[in-house]
């Protein structure tokens, strides 16, 4: 019996079975419960802590009523307003939980709005509200909400790896388009789209485009019947000449409101959210895609961030840099630093610095080892047990400590902290034409592909991630990559 049929029976009996409740409701209730617990404990905890602080200042115990008149009433009001604004700002919206920064941004906006509104009310009505509420409740409560939402997100991602707590999706469109969209969705199961199968126009069922991992689950001419048969709650329409506007509109009319959803997937791929603006014009959902810019204030701010951050890191890590240099000098013959010609912004060559992690004659031995590569990809040479690497070098590479001298490349303006990988000249000779777009920005010490798989990615995936970064980078995104870099380096996915 399908999910849709079970839901209808439940409506007739007036009983809602837990098994048939949408995952959005179940997950939303869990977030609401944790939010309520955190906000309540934070606000009333701040009230108690403020009394203790005031007692320490006065040198004698201060009663609660003496420290803050009507403290209980104010605390209850703050809890109600805070929780209300978390709902009003849609911080538990099922379309934003699990991936992206929108959920966190809405939590921050709701929290700041709560205390902004509180400050206005206190000022207008001249309430005797202690500043301790602001100094204690806001930062602690906001941090606690973000941390717990992060924990919930990790739990949700684990569930979505097995298809739970996800939209149950059927893709409908041409064989080429559904295959492309299916592969994109498979890359990010944490986004919450669990693919049940596909529907293609008549005559395309045996198309070579359709991979073995995709299953045709229904007829293209009876999409509503397919949804009911599979128990899907979402149908994603990809590009196809077989889906004219009138048919798409009629399909949307037949879906069960609030229970079944329609998504139209454009052919655009690898476009970041900040570059997209949807504007309805005469009933048409027009998608404006901003052309990436590589000059002006945005680039100046990136350069300023590079200078300040790299100079600060050099100052803080100076003892570590000196210790590594000494260990290399004493550990094996040869120079401390390894200089290598790389290709930077606009195709200019520069000398990239690294701590030497290999024997001095490593470059001469490379040709002999190329046929033994067992990692990396078709363009990038990698070996899991490269015989040229010294014992100390293995440790340096494992935690990317050999990359630290590139901070001086950043200060010199040859590199950025975040950017595409700086390629070797002979690698560039193998590039297809579109790959040269990575030279529109400075190469980076770390980047999107390094935190998405490091040495384990295919060449095509490495290029896709680098080009995605080039066309969609933001300063906020750079900070996120730096944070992910620290997790990757300290985790199990170190470089070879």
Residue 421: alpha-carbon gap to chain centroid: 20
Angstrom distance (rounded) from CA 157 to CA 28: 15
Residue 10 has pLDDT above 60, yes or no: no
pLDDT in tens, 227-275: 989 989 999 998 767 788 888 888 888 888 878 899 988 877 777 667 7
* pTM for the predicted model, two decimal places: 0.71
pLDDT in tens, 455-480: 567 778 888 888 888 888 888 888 88
**What value does the CA radius of gyration of the chain take, rounded to a whole number of Å?**
28
Strands (E), 160-298: 167-172, 193-199, 234-237, 261-264, 276-281, 284-289
Q: Which residue in 200, 161, 160, 163 sits closest to 179, CA to CA? A: 200
Phi, psi of 329 (to 5 degrees): -60, -40
| 414 burial via Cβ count (<10 Å: 0-12, 13-18, 19+) | buried
For strand 416-418 and strand 381-382, is the pairing parallel, antiparallel, or unpaired? unpaired
Q: Which residue in 166, 214, 170, 213 sits closest to 190, CA to CA? A: 166
Domain 167-267, CATH class in plain words: alpha beta
Q: What percent of the chain has pLDDT over 70?
A: 82
pLDDT of residue 77: 86
Angstrom distance (rounded) from CA 166 to CA 94: 9
Q: Are 193 and 185 in contact (CB under 8 A)?
A: yes
Angstrom distance (rounded) from CA 439 to CA 448: 15
Up-side HSE of residue 114: CA atoms within 13 Å toward CB?
Answer: 31
Segments making up each domain of the chain, as ranges = 3-161, 167-267, 297-490
Q: Are 260 and 233 in contact (CB under 8 A)?
A: yes
pLDDT in tens, 269-281: 777 667 777 777 7
Angstrom distance (rounded) from CA 449 to CA 421: 8
Is residue 168 very low, low, confident or very high in pLDDT (cuts 50, 70, 90)? very high
Residue 335: alpha-carbon gap to chain centroid: 40
Q: Are 438 and 420 in contact (CB under 8 A)?
A: yes
* Cβ contacts of 97 within 8 Å, gap of 6 or more: 27, 31, 103, 152, 153, 156, 192
Q: Token pair 């570059």 is at which residue?
A: 275
**Mean pLDDT for the stretch of residues 313-325:** 94
pLDDT of residue 312: 95
Is residue 6 very low, low, confident or very high in pLDDT (cuts 50, 70, 90)? very low
| 371 burial via Cβ count (<10 Å: 0-12, 13-18, 19+) | exposed
Q: Token pair 């049929």 is at which residue?
A: 5
CA distances to 24, 45, 183, 384 from 394, rounded to whole Å, are 47, 49, 35, 10
Beta bridge partners of 171: 198, 236
CA distances to 364, 376, 495 from 370, rounded to whole Å, are 12, 11, 18
The token pair that represents 448 in the structure block? 């999107």
Angstrom distance (rounded) from CA 36 to CA 145: 10
Residue 66 has pLDDT above 60, yes or no: no
């Amino acid at each position: 019996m399908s999910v849709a049929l079970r839901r209808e029976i439940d409506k007739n009996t007036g009983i809602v079975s837990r098994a048939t409740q949408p995952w959005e409701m179940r997950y939303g209730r869990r977030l609401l419960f944790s939010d309520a617990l955190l906000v309540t404990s934070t606000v009333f905890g701040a009230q108690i802590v403020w009394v203790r602080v005031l007692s320490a200042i006065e040198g004698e115990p201060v009663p609660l009523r003496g420290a803050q008149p009507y403290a209980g009433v104010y605390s209850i009001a703050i809890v109600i307003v805070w929780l209300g604004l978390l709902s009003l700002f849609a911080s538990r919206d099922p379309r934003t939980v699990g991936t992206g920064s929108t959920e966190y941004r809405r939590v921050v906006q709701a929290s700041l709005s709560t205390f902004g509104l509180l400050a206005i009310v206190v000022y207008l009505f001249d309430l005797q509200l202690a500043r301790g509420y602001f100094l204690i409740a806001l930062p602690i409560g906001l941090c606690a909400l973000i941390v717990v939402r992060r924990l919930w997100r990790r739990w949700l991602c684990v569930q979505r790896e097995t298809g739970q707590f996800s939209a149950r999706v059927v893709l409908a469109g041409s064989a080429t388009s559904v295959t492309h969209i299916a592969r994109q969705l498979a890359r990010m199961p944490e986004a919450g789209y669990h693919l049940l199968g596909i529907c293609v126009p008549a005559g395309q069922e045996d198309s070579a485009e359709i991979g073995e991992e995709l299953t045709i689950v229904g007829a293209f001419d009876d999409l509503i019947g397919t949804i009911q048969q599979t128990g899907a709650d979402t149908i994603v329409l990809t590009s196809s000449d077989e889906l004219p506007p009138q048919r798409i509109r009629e399909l949307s009319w037949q879906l069960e409101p609030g229970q079944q959803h329609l998504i139209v997937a454009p052919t655009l791929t690898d476009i970041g959210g900040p570059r997209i603006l949807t504007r309805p014009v005469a009933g048409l959902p027009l998608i404006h895609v901003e052309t990436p810019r590589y000059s002006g204030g945005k680039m100046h701010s990136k350069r300023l961030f590079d200078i300040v951050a790299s100079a600060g890191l050099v100052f803080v890590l100076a003892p570590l840099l000196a210790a590594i240099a000494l260990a290399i000098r004493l550990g094996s013959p040869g120079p401390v630093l390894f200089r290598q010609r790389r290709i930077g912004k606009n195709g200019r060559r520069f000398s990239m610095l690294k701590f030497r992690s290999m024997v001095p004659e490593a470059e001469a031995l490379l040709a002999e080892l190329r046929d033994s590569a067992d990692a990396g990809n078709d363009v990038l040479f990698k070996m899991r047990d490269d015989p040229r690497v010294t014992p100390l070098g293995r440790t340096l590479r494992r935690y990317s400590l050999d990359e630290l001298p590139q901070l001086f490349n950043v200060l010199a303006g040859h590199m950025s902290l975040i950017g595409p990988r700086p390629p070797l000249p002979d690698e560039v000779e193998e590039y297809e034409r579109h790959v040269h777009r990575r030279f529109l920005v400075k190469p980076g010490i770390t980047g999107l592909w390094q935190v998405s798989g490091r040495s384990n990615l295919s060449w095509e995936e490495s290029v896709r991630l680098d080009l995605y970064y080039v066309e969609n980078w933001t300063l906020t995104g750079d900070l996120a990559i730096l944070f992910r870099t620290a997790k990757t380096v300290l985790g199990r996915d170190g470089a070879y």
